[in-house]
Amino acid sequence: MKVLKYIWMPLRKNKHVTGLRLLLMYVQNGVEEPWQRIPTVSAIFAAEASLILLDPSHEHYVPINKLLKSSSTLKLRGIPLFHDFFWSSTVNFRSQRFWELRLVCAGLKSDEDAQIYIRNSILETVMSFSSSPLADDETKGLILQVVRKSVKFHKMARHLVENCGLFSWCSAFISTFTTKPTGDEDLRLVVILEVITDVLASRNVTEWLQRCGLEGLMEISSRLYRLLGGGLVSVQENGTSVDLILQILSATLKISQKRKMYQPHFTITIEGIFQLFEGVANSGSPQVEDSSEHGLITILMSSPPVDIIDMDVDKLRRFLLWATSTALKCDHKRVPSESHHDTKKITEEPEEETMIAKFLRWLLASVILRKLYSKANHSDSTVLSKTKPKTLLNLLEYFKKRNLEDSMKISEHIIEEVIVYLQKHLLCTNYRVLLPSVVFALSLMLLHNDLGTEDPNDDYKLIKSLCSKISSPPEANPGWRWSYFQAWWDLSSEQATDLDKIDELHACQHLLLIFSDMLGETPGESQQVLLRKDFDISHVLEWERSLVET
């Protein structure tokens, strides 16, 4: 056996053999079956004890020798001297506690070892002690290493989360960082973040969190995005910490999206989103660019903020510019350069949604949800509570009755320009999914009370006719929920015929031409040529030809 090797070698060379013989008998008596495996922590204890027993002047010689004389059998389901050393009140209490912690840390190698730790409440003991005034920095660091090793085992990870209050413990640890972590502090922060990410890698843990325990992780995530947004960690100085923070935030938001409607959810306010943006929106090294992409993904994992229109204009402009450029860079890296003509037909669902499409969906939902619900009066809030209006015209008529304010904010104009810009960069397979939402969001911001002016000399009748051909966007459905991973599908809209869908596409195209001219970014004719070119490559004509041939 491995442990006998450590015992017999010094036994042959040293005259102090009495203690070693006691140790050998102590270990042998603990083996109940042939070829029984000795737990790692017991084997390491025996090896360490054999060396100590060779030196009577060693500070741990007396307690170990006393143990061997008072107990003849090694308990393989426990940790020798753990409670005696860990809660020692002798002169050497600090040395004994530290020796025991090193034994606990080194002795965790297998699932069997993990079961021993769980059975003897080892983790609960060391974690509770870390918050004690008796725990110095060195002891806290070693306890953190014990927890770090523990979460590598799925059974222990779940035990830590469900029974040991791991997230509350980590949250309290993170709260101690009130200034920029440097040196050992930064390394310690990295370790605590690695603990959390390892725990979230367990499917059993995430499923449990989704059902009943997300609140602790939500508290941690709130502290982390404040840590990042407050400038206490930066990409240049704490790159590893920033990446781990973004992983934790994304995981929290992903779990939150899967929860039931009535359960608490984790959301990031518009101020928090801007803080995240400032924390990662720096240019320079490739590592910084990667952090920007991770930051954008984290932001898009969060529910679309309905108050984005009220955001400070300068902040909004900076945020939208960064998000758009980051999404373009992300798509450029992941999508191979190929002709749009090689893409699938518009009737087919895209295999993978581009980052531009995700960002556009997120931005559209922010605008639409703000207009649909944030200013609704109590008297008319039931209009959209049960059923979704059939067409875009129905929705616009609803807003006409509500008599919305007719003053356009500068922020709305900025968002309109970004929406028009983004929809031109979409892969053609995304048009059918997003176009109703695009034209509805633009209608809400551009038309305002002009919707109620039915002057035969203006474009109102044309707009009304086009809107009647466009289905109501999915965001108007009471059951709509945001998902980063895929667009929400309204199955009722799939009942429309292919000809109706083609008419809807043409109507959306026409409205986009009108809205682009209203924005006045470029001369009308050149703008129309550009938009028509974009739609020509979307295989609408091929779709029409296939319908005629069949």
Q: What is the pLDDT of residues 526-535, one digit of tens each?
A: 344 444 444 4
Question: Which positions ≥6 away from 14 have C-beta within 8 Å?
Answer: 20, 54
- pLDDT, greater one: 105 or 544: 105
Q: What is the pLDDT of residues 476-517, one digit of tens each?
A: 887 888 989 888 776 655 566 777 778 888 888 888 888 877
Mean pLDDT of all residues belonging to the chain: 80
Q: In 10 A of CB 550, how many CB atoms? A: 6
- pLDDT, greater one: 212 or 334: 212
* Six-digit token string for 470: 């466009």
* Six-digit token string for 114: 């993990």
CA-angle at 373, arms to 371 and 377, nearest 5°: 105
For residue 425, the Cα-to-chain-centroid distance in whole angstroms is: 27
State residue 530's pLDDT score.
Answer: 40
State residue 514's pLDDT score.
Answer: 82
State residue 496's pLDDT score.
Answer: 64
State residue 533's pLDDT score.
Answer: 44
pLDDT at 525 over 70: no
Residue 362 near residue 443 (C-beta atoms within 8 A): no
Q: How far apart are CA 328 and CA 346, in angstroms?
A: 22
State residue 256's pLDDT score.
Answer: 92
pLDDT at 231 over 70: yes
pLDDT at 348 over 50: no
State residue 232's pLDDT score.
Answer: 83
Closest CA to 366 of 443, 410, 300: 300
Q: What is the pLDDT of residues 170-188, one digit of tens each?
A: 999 998 887 888 778 888 9
pLDDT at 540 over 80: no
Q: In 10 A of CB 457, how many CB atoms? A: 6
State residue 420's pLDDT score.
Answer: 87
State residue 522's pLDDT score.
Answer: 46
When pLDDT is cut at 50, 70 and 90, the band that residue 41 belongs to is very high
Work out the percent of the chain whose per-residue pLDDT is above 90: 35
Provide mean pLDDT across the span 218-247.
Answer: 86
- pLDDT, greater one: 36 or 113: 113
Q: How far apart are CA 366 and CA 78, in angstroms?
A: 56
Residue 81 near residue 42 (C-beta atoms within 8 A): no
Q: Which helix (H) or strand (E) covers residue 207, if one does? A: helix 203-208
pLDDT at 384 over 60: no
Helical spans, DSSP H, in 311-391: 313-334, 355-369
pLDDT at 99 over 80: yes
Backbone torsion region of residue 35, taken as left when φ is above 0, otherwise alpha when ψ lies between -120 and 50, otherwise beta: left
State residue 254's pLDDT score.
Answer: 92
pLDDT at 429 over 60: no
Provide mean pLDDT across the span 30-53.
Answer: 90
pLDDT at 40 over 70: yes
pLDDT at 243 over 60: yes
Residue 323 near residue 296 (C-beta atoms within 8 A): yes
Q: What is the pLDDT of residues 139-148, one digit of tens each?
A: 999 999 999 9
Point out which residues pair with 471 in neighbouring strands. 391
Domain residue extents for the chain: 1-132, 151-303, 351-374+387-549
